[in-house]
Amino acid sequence: MTILARLGGVALGLACLIGAAHAVEADQGRALSNTEQFAAVYGKALPPIGYVEMCAREPKDCRPVGGRPIHLALSPERWNLIYQVNTFVNGKIAPMSDEELYGKPEYWTIPTDAGDCEDYLLLKQHYLEGLSFPPEALLITVVLDEKGQGHAVLMVTTDKGDFVLDNRRNEVLRWNDTGYTFLKRQSAEDPRQWVSLTRKGSVDSGAVSAGGQKK
């Protein structure tokens, strides 16, 4: 089945990216040739408040799917799709804060035309699931950026390492090449549960709301 058939209208924009295959293939070659790198898990963590509120509004988007931690086989086709979805969403969604959009400091939702960091990643997660990527490999992740500000990205766990889809760049980087400090992410076993990515132990839900400089 083609990308167009699987994504319907959404794929119209994605199809425009396929013409840039040479750039994708170059990035793929760099990614697949590197040593495998995976983010370590250090125990349980509390989910971000915005995520908890979203799950209360839309419980179907947070229900467990009977998954387990997996490392998705990163084929050239899958790498291309990851790159295309990241680039497409970054170009489709305009950066705008929750305060500007909803009059609230934190409001997680799948965006239509504007949003902040967590909204970008929710849309990417939605598109990749529509392209038959397993939900257990698409994990919402909270980090601190280079300035120590809260930020959220989508982590894809693969057999070549854990890669990050970020609204701040089109390039898809391995997690430890981003310059970020990784705090916590969804559990692959249950998306309502979160795990710590820091040796400091459980991360408070209020420690990072995935806020800060979201644009």
Q: Which domain holds residue 149?
A: 3-196
pLDDT of residue 37: 86
CA 93 to chain centre: 15
CATH, residue 7 = 3.10.620
Which burial class, exposed, middle or buried, applies to 130 when counting CB atoms under 10 A from its CB (0-12, 13-18, 19+)? Answer: middle
Number of domains present in the structure of the chain = 1
Task: Give CA–CA dist 135/145, Å, rounded.
Answer: 25
Tokens of 160: 């070549």
pLDDT of residue 61: 87
CB 163 within 8 A of CB 154: no
SS (H, E, C) 27-53: HHHHHHHCCCCCCCCCCEECCCHHHHH
Residue 215 placed within a domain: no
**What's the pLDDT tens digit per position in 196-205?**
999 875 555 4
- Residues of the chain below pLDDT 70: 1-36, 66, 201-215
